[in-house]
Amino acid sequence: MAEAARESGQAPVITATDLFRRFGDFVAVDHIHVTVAPGEVFGLLGANGAGKTTTIRMLCGLLPPSGGAIELAGVDMVRHPRRARARLGYVTQHFALYGELSVRENLEMQAGLYGLPPGRARERIGWALAHLSLSRLAGEKARSLPLGYRRRLDLAAALLHEPRILFLDEPTSGVDPLARQQFWELIYELAEAGIAILVTTHYMDEATYCDRLALMHAGRIIAEGSPDDLLARPLPTPLLEVRGEGCAACSRWLAGWPEVLEIIPHAGYLRLRLQPGTDPAALAARLREEAVRRGQRVDAAEPVPPDLEDVFVTLLEEDSAS
């Protein structure tokens, strides 16, 4: 859908140009460019301290940039922050509503803060309660909701004024997998309705749900593209997957092999990242021979295509080296 939006030539609703922020001598965000089209889900990835939250705070108008320009839905955020804020919704990393107020009271307050007339407010609150499956809990105190539902309430509160842009700062951290799945379904629905969504996340599986990704490191965007684009990049470090009962024992002697850069243990299998230039097939054959010699059972040892995490690890290493 985002591809369609961009191909149809829709102008981006989030445009950040040459965005820059320093805290004293520390450069938190180093001249980055971000554009998000209507209906696009844009993921911002990176470790803690990479500059994701600083970026999102500048885009929301919570932090004035040291340099650069931000335009949200045609409004200059730096010059007219209050007008721009009326067009965006923001879900913070931690629950940021009032635990002692009920679900409905929280939504009523939020509607009032956006200046919705009473009739319109009632209508939108009704929509949000129904759409996010909160109707049954409308009278409950927000404090007593399970975490997944609290995140929904956060989202509901950010949607009452029908923003054209939604910022989600790690919206699913700490939420159980099923609730995360449901939350992403909601995000897709909103994107389909034409809202531009910028989301930050730690979870790699969530990264693959995004239409487009940007990887941040030390304040810069070091790679950007759709998940498929990023996966298609040729990786200098070949990957090998080793399966079998004996593979936990294998990792002990594999650690001594010079060709093996890193051993990533998973449940029931190992992933090996190999030094650049290694022939994975030849190494797999040597590995199987060695396992047989030691009497350890290995069912398979095969070269595998990289996943997003492999790509990011490589990109970060390249960036740190340069």
Partner 1 sequence: MMRVPVGLRRLHALLRKEFMLLLRDPRMRFFVVIPPIIQLVIFGFAATYDVRFAAIGLVDHADTVQTRDLRAAITGTTHYRLERYTAMAAAEQAMAVGEIRGIVVFPPDFVRQPRIQIVVDGSDSNSAQVILGQLARTLQQAAAREPPRISLAFRNWFNPNLEDRWYFVPGVMATVVLIATVSLTAMGVVRERELGTLERLMVTPLGRLEFVAGKLLPVAAIGLFDVALILVIAIFGFDIPFRGSFLALFVGTSLYLLSALGIGLLISSYVGTQQQAMLLVFFAIMPLVILSGFAFPIANMPEPVQWATWLNPLRYYLVIVRDAFLKGSGLLDYGFEFLMMGVLGLVSMGLSMLRVR
Residues that bind partner 1 (CB under 8 A): 60-62, 82-83, 85-86, 88, 90, 92, 94-98, 100-101, 105, 108-117
- Residue number, 120 or 131, with CB nearest to partner 1: 120
- Minimum Å gap between C-beta 121 and partner 1 is 9
- Residue number, 60 or 287, with CB nearest to partner 1: 60
Residue 52 amino acid letter? K
Strand-pair partners of 76: 71
Three-state DSSP at 306 gives coil
Give the separation between CA 13 and CA 216, rounded to whole angstroms: 21
- Minimum Å gap between C-beta 119 and partner 1 is 9
Residue 190 amino acid letter? L
- Residue number, 66 or 251, with CB nearest to partner 1: 66
CB neighbour class for 25 (10 Å; exposed up to 12, middle 13-18, buried from 19)? exposed
Residue 31 amino acid letter? H
- Minimum Å gap between C-beta 199 and partner 1 is 16
Nearest by Cα to 151 from 139, 165, 133, 163 = 133
Take residue 242 and report the two structure tokens written for it.
């080793």
- Residue number, 60 or 298, with CB nearest to partner 1: 60
Give the separation between CA 114 and CA 172, rounded to whole angstroms: 25
Are 201 and 170 a contacting pair, CB within 8 Å?
yes
Query: Given the DSSP bridges, would you call strands 212-217 and 220-225 parallel, antiparallel or unpaired?
Result: antiparallel
- Residue number, 119 or 256, with CB nearest to partner 1: 119
**Cα Dmax for the chain:** 78
- Minimum Å gap between C-beta 115 and partner 1 is 4
- Residue number, 47 or 75, with CB nearest to partner 1: 75
- Minimum Å gap between C-beta 79 and partner 1 is 15
- Minimum Å gap between C-beta 154 and partner 1 is 9
